[in-house]
Structure formats: structure tokens, C-alpha cells
């Protein structure tokens, strides 16, 4: 995005990427259906960035969801709004969009150098770039770093930039997994062998004292993952950071009240087992029944009142996030206080930052890419502004 703004302003742009091709994570995001942005109204949209909403808002004001859709249409790709309000390119894919975008950049004179890895700065402030021909020293008029977070390192973003910037006096927050799965201390052998991979559908989940969210997730060998868990991942991660573990509550039947559940379970069951009773009265079987067995308090299967409470509020203790490399995105990165409103680093004039490497996070739903696009554009415009200012100062 920055390269586009800069080249449109008549500036010469060289783009370096450590990988053999650019946009690998962007392409991966297209594999499961590229959710590029969201159609909800702006106040709800910006609230997805939680505590960082005030910092992300100016970026979105410059280039928000609507502007992003128009930009995609300008590349000859249509978009549609899914039933959840999420916005997708019409074929759900990232590759046609990336192809059209790269062509436009190349046509505008942007030179793309792949297999060129930025290592930091030389003593004379030139950039150190490792290339197949050896290390290069490059001295641009201005630099933009858009090096991503630290998940899926094999696609290029490994977070190796963080200590380099830290050593230069740039304020950075540690990179942490976001939109990620979490681990329990140990599932029983039965749950792991029979139900790892099973989807837990139509449930609600949340931290105590918070409204539970409806959705679905998946039991894994080590814990839980999936969209409902990702949506809660910032809260769960912070609870673990503070207390060493997070207790989430699961409502296995969000469509029924506690009283209805307890009434159903209190009906005479004759010689039927409680498991059969659960199934016939409430339709609970399979993975939901197994999870209930795993997590309900002792004695619950002999006490309909207690079991009813467990159905409606099953406590699940999560002890750690899955490794950062598996996460959809990362939290942490370059602090907003370390940059001016143009996204230029205060400690390194002429060096700008954009994308996931900035210290914001958001749930899935298109909010990640939208903020990446918006910050890239802001930084590009900021670079034009800064370069013009320098030209004007030159006698
Ligand atoms: C499985 C998956 C699905 C996703 N789906 C969606 C989705 O549907 N919607 C959504 O909004 N978001 C989605 N995301 C998140 C989204 O893809 C990222 O937030 C976004 O790609 C980040 O963009 P970025 O340009 O900041 O970083 P990246 O896309 O990570 O790009 C950073 C680039 O910098 C290069 N680089 C890193 N270090 C160096 C270095 N030292 N020298 C040279 N080059 C370097 C890398 O090779 C890479 O090309 C998904 C992520 C994953 C993992």
C-alpha cells in the first residue's frame, strides 16, 4: 500500500522481501476464503481494536472498510458481503487480487527484490540487506518496514526485527500469539483419542463476569481452537498472563435456560443411564457429552440439579496459548507511542512502520488485513509528506 502511494507520487520505490516471492501470508489467508474486511458500521468496526481503537481510528479514517472495497474493485475484483457481514473477494481467493495488485505496482515502476532480507543498519545508517549476491548496503531517502508479526515463520514473518528495533531505542511490546488455540493441562486419554478434532457446535463461551459469545470451536489433542476461541483469545491470554491460567465457562445449550435444563434432567429416567437421559431429554451426546463427563464436578451425573448447572456453565481451565508460530496473528510490536501520526519512528527519523508489526490486535473477521492496508497507506502518505518537507528544507 505504501509502495502504491509513493509510486503514484512520482517517487522511486524498491521493495525488498526475504522470501522467494511476496505476499505469502496474504495468499495463505486466501486459502480458507479471504475475508478482507467487514461491513459492520464504523463504531462497531473500530471497537474491534479494543484498547488500540483510538490509535487505529485515524488509520481507518484515512482508509477504512469502504475505501478498501473500492480499492479492490479498482483492481477489477468484485466483493460480496457474507451472511455474517464479512466481506470477501467474489471468488474468495487472494491470488487474483495479489496478481492484479503486483502488476499495477510493477507498471508504476516499483521494483521488487525477492530473497533480499533486511538485517538492520550499518554504522552510516545505510540498510543491511542480505541478498543471494552477498550483503548489500542501501541508503534510501526513507524506509518503510512492514515485516509482519511472528506467526507462520515459514511464510517470511519471523519477528527477528523486534530486537533490532529495540536496540535502536524503539519502544516495542513483546510479540504474543493472538487468534490462537489454547492448551488444557491434559485431556483424558478417552477424550483425546475419540474426540480430538471434533467440532463443538452451537455453544457459548466466555470468561466469568463477561457475556458469553455464541459460536463453535474444535477440541484438539492439547486443548481447544477455532473461531469462538480465537474471538476470546485476547481475554484468555491476558488472564493467563496475570494468573497463570484462565477459566472459561462453556454453555453447552445456549438456547435453553438453566431452569429448563434442570427440569428436563429432573424427569424420571427409570433404569436408563444418565447419559441416555441426557441424550433423550436434551439431545446431548457425542463430543458435548464427553466434555461434560470430562469437566463436570464429581457427583454431577448423580444429581440432575448439579448436572444442569454443569451443562449451562462448564468450567474449562486453559493454561497456555498454542505456540506463536501456529497463531493466525500476533499481538505486540512497535508501540504507537514510538511513532508520530505519520507512523514514522521517533527514534529513527525517516523510518516508518506498518502492518501487523505495530502493537495492535483484532479478532478475525477482516479486521487484521484492513488495519494492515490502512497503516500501509498512512505510512506511505507520511513518507511522501516527510520527503517533501526535507526537499523544501534543501537550499
Ligand atoms: C492462516 C491465516 C489466515 C488468515 N486469514 C485472514 C483473513 O481471512 N482476514 C484477515 O484480515 N487476516 C487474515 N490473516 C492475517 C493476515 O494475513 C495478516 O495479518 C497480514 O498478512 C499481515 O500483513 P503484513 O504485511 O503486516 O505482514 P505479512 O503478511 O506477514 O508480510 C510481511 C512480509 O515481510 C517479509 N519479511 C519479514 N521479515 C523480513 C526481513 N527481515 N527482511 C525482508 N523481508 C522480511 C516477509 O517475508 C513477508 O512477506 C490470516 C493469517 C493466517 C496465518
Query: In which order are the strands placed within the sheet that holds 37-38?
Result: 37-38, 86-89, 79-81
Beta carbons within 10 angstroms of residue 110's beta carbon: 18
The whole-number pLDDT of residue 49 equals: 97
* Same domain assignment for residues 286 and 367: no
Does residue 146 have a pLDDT over 80?
yes
Nearest-atom index, ligand 1, CA of 24: 49
Distance in Å, CA 87 to ligand 1 centroid: 19
Distance in Å, CA 207 to ligand 1 centroid: 29
* Same domain assignment for residues 145 and 261: no
Model pLDDT for residues 189-235, shown as the tens digit of each residue: 999 999 999 999 999 999 999 999 999 999 999 999 999 999 999 99
* Same domain assignment for residues 29 and 142: yes
Question: Pick from 292, 321, 350: which residue ends a domain?
Answer: 321
Q: How far is CA 388 from the centre of its chain?
A: 35
- Stretch 43-52: mean pLDDT, rounded? 97
CATH of the domain at 40: 3.50.50.60
The whole-number pLDDT of residue 390 equals: 87
* Same domain assignment for residues 263 and 287: yes
Cell digits of residue 232: 476470546
Ligand 1 contact via 67 beta carbon (within 6 Å): no
Does residue 395 have a pLDDT over 80?
no
Question: Pick from 294, 321, 348: which residue ends a domain?
Answer: 321
Q: How far is CA 239 from the centre of its chain?
A: 18
Q: Rounded to an integer, what distance in angstroms lies between the CA atom of residue 126 and that of residue 124?
A: 6
Does residue 391 have a pLDDT over 90?
no
The CA–CA distances, whole Å, from 337 to 144, 225, 385 equal: 17, 33, 20
Model pLDDT for residues 245-295, shown as the tens digit of each residue: 999 999 999 999 999 999 999 999 899 888 899 999 999 999 999 999 999
Q: Rounded to an integer, what distance in angstroms lies between the CA atom of residue 329 and that of residue 369?
A: 10
The whole-number pLDDT of residue 392 equals: 86
Nearest-atom index, ligand 1, CA of 156: 47
Nearest-atom index, ligand 1, CA of 19: 47
Q: How far is CA 265 from the centre of its chain?
A: 40
Pseudo-torsion of CA 348, 350, 355, 356, nearest 10°? Answer: -10
* Same domain assignment for residues 97 and 212: no
Domain that holds residue 359: 2-175+329-393
Model pLDDT for residues 349-381, shown as the tens digit of each residue: 999 999 999 999 999 999 999 999 999 999 999
Q: Phi-psi region for residue 168, left (φ > 0), alpha (ψ -120 to 50) or beta?
A: alpha
The whole-number pLDDT of residue 394 equals: 76
Nearest-atom index, ligand 1, CA of 34: 8
Helix H segments across the chain? 2-8, 24-29, 42-47, 53-62, 65-74, 95-107, 161-167, 189-195, 227-231, 233-243, 258-266, 274-282, 286-295, 304-312, 367-393
Nearest-atom index, ligand 1, CA of 354: 26
Ligand 1 contact via 368 beta carbon (within 6 Å): yes
Contact 311, 227 (CB under 8 A): no
Residues 6+ apart with CB under 8 A from 233: 177, 178, 179, 180, 182, 321, 363
Residue of 127, 129, 135, 328 to test ligand 1 pocket, by largest number of atoms within 8 Å of CB: 328
* Same domain assignment for residues 48 and 105: yes
Ligand 1 contact via 308 beta carbon (within 6 Å): no
Which residue is closest in CA terms to ligand 1's atom 36?
A: 147
Pairing of β 111-113 and β 117-121: unpaired
Pairing of β 351-353 and β 143-145: parallel
The whole-number pLDDT of residue 53 equals: 98
Ligand 1 contact via 369 beta carbon (within 6 Å): yes
Model pLDDT for residues 72-96, shown as the tens digit of each residue: 999 999 999 999 999 999 999 999 9
Which residue is closest in CA terms to ligand 1's atom 50?
A: 29
* Same domain assignment for residues 156 and 187: no
The whole-number pLDDT of residue 168 equals: 97
Ligand 1 contact via 19 beta carbon (within 6 Å): yes
Phi, psi of 56 (to 5 degrees): -80, -25
Ligand 1 contact via 373 beta carbon (within 6 Å): no
Residue of 72, 157, 332, 353 to test ligand 1 pocket, by largest number of atoms within 8 Å of CB: 157
Residue of 14, 95, 148, 323 to test ligand 1 pocket, by largest number of atoms within 8 Å of CB: 148
Phi, psi of 312 (to 5 degrees): -85, -20
Distance in Å, CA 192 to ligand 1 centroid: 32
Q: Rounded to an integer, what distance in angstroms lies between the CA atom of residue 230 and that of residue 247?
A: 15
Ligand 1 contact via 220 beta carbon (within 6 Å): no
- Return the ∠ at Cα 106 (arms to 380 and 139), rounded to 5°: 55
Q: Phi-psi region for residue 61, left (φ > 0), alpha (ψ -120 to 50) or beta?
A: alpha
Which residue is closest in CA terms to ligand 1's atom 33?
A: 147
The CA–CA distances, whole Å, from 25 to 55, 73, 150, 356 equal: 24, 21, 11, 11
Ligand 1 contact via 146 beta carbon (within 6 Å): yes
| Residues 357, 359, 362, 368, CA torsion sign | negative
Rg (CA), the chain: 25
* Same domain assignment for residues 251 and 231: yes
Pairing of β 37-38 and β 86-89: antiparallel
* Same domain assignment for residues 316 and 286: yes
Residue of 27, 153, 368, 380 to test ligand 1 pocket, by largest number of atoms within 8 Å of CB: 368
Q: Rounded to an integer, what distance in angstroms lies between the CA atom of residue 158 and that of residue 391?
A: 35
Residue whose entry in the numeric block shows the C-alpha cell 500469539: 177
Pseudo-torsion of CA 308, 312, 313, 316, nearest 10°? Answer: 100
* Same domain assignment for residues 81 and 8: yes
* Same domain assignment for residues 135 and 216: no
pTM across the whole model: 0.95
* Same domain assignment for residues 140 and 42: yes
Split at pLDDT 50, 70, 90, the class of 393 is confident
Ligand 1 contact via 312 beta carbon (within 6 Å): no
Which residue is closest in CA terms to ligand 1's atom 52?
A: 328
Count of domains in the chain? 2
Question: Pick from 298, 321, 344: which residue ends a domain?
Answer: 321
Residue of 21, 29, 365, 373 to test ligand 1 pocket, by largest number of atoms within 8 Å of CB: 29
Q: Rounded to an integer, what distance in angstroms lies between the CA atom of residue 332 and that of residue 335?
A: 8
Cell digits of residue 192: 483425546
Amino acid at each position: 500500500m505504501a509502495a502504491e502511494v509513493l509510486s503514484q507520487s512520482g517517487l522511486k520505490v524498491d521493495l525488498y522481501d526475504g522470501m522467494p516471492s511476496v505476499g505469502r501470508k496474504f495468499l495463505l489467508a486466501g486459502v480458507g476464503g479471504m475475508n478482507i474486511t467487514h461491513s459492520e458500521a464504523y463504531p462497531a468496526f473500530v471497537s474491534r481494536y479494543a484498547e488500540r481503537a483510538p490509535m487505529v481510528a485515524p488509520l481507518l479514517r484515512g482508509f477504512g472498510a469502504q475505501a478498501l472495497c473500492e480499492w479492490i474493485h479498482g483492481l477489477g475484483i468484485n466483493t460480496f458481503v457474507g451472511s455474517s457481514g464479512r466481506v470477501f473477494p467474489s471468488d474468495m481467493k487472494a491470488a487474483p487480487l495479489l496478481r492484479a495488485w503486483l502488476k499495477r505496482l510493477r507498471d508504476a515502476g516499483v521494483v521488487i527484490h525477492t530473497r533480499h532480507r533486511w538485517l538492520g543498519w550499518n554504522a552510516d545508517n545505510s540498510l543491511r540487506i542480505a541478498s543471494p549476491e552477498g550483503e548489500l548496503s542501501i541508503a534510501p531517502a526513507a524506509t518503510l518496514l512492514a515485516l509482519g508479526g511472528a506467526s507462520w515463520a515459514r511464510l517470511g514473518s519471523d519477528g527477528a526485527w523486534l530486537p533490532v528495533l529495540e536496540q535502536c531505542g524503539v519502544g516495542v511490546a513483546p510479540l504474543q500469539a493472538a487468534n490462537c488455540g489454547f492448551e488444557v493441562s491434559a485431556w483424558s486419554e478417552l477424550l483425546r483419542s475419540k474426540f480430538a478434532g471434533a467440532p463443538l457446535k452451537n455453544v457459548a463461551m466466555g470468561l466469568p463476569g463477561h457475556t458469553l459469545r455464541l459460536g463453535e470451536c474444535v477440541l484438539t489433542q492439547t486443548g481447544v481452537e477455532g473461531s469462538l476461541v480465537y474471538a476470546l483469545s485476547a481475554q484468555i491470554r491476558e488472564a493467563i498472563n496475570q494468573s497463570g491460567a484462565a477459566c472459561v465457562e462453556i454453555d453447552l445449550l445456549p438456547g435453553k435456560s438453566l431452569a429448563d435444563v434442570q427440569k428436563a434432567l429432573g424427569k424420571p429416567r427409570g433404569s436408563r443411564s444418565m447419559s441416555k437421559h441426557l441424550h433423550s431429554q436434551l439431545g446431548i451426546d457425542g463430543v458435548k457429552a464427553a466434555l461434560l463427563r470430562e469437566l463436570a464436578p464429581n457427583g454431577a451425573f448423580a444429581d440432575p440439579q448439579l448436572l444442569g448447572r454443569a451443562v449451562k456453565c462448564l468450567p474449562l481451565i486453559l493454561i497456555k496459548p498454542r505456540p506463536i508460530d501456529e497463531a493466525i496473528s500476533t499481538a505486540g510490536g512497535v508501540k504507537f507511542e514510538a511513532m508520530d501520526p505519520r507512523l514514522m519512528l521517533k527514534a529513527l527519523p525517516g523510518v516508518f512502520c506498518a502492518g501487523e508489526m505495530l502493537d495492535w490486535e483484532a479478532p478475525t473477521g477482516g479486521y487484521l488485513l484492513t488495519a494492515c492496508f490502512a497503516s500501509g497507506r498512512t505510512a506511505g502518505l507520511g513518507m511522501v509528506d516527510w520527503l517533501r518537507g526535507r526537499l523544501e528544507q534543501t537550499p
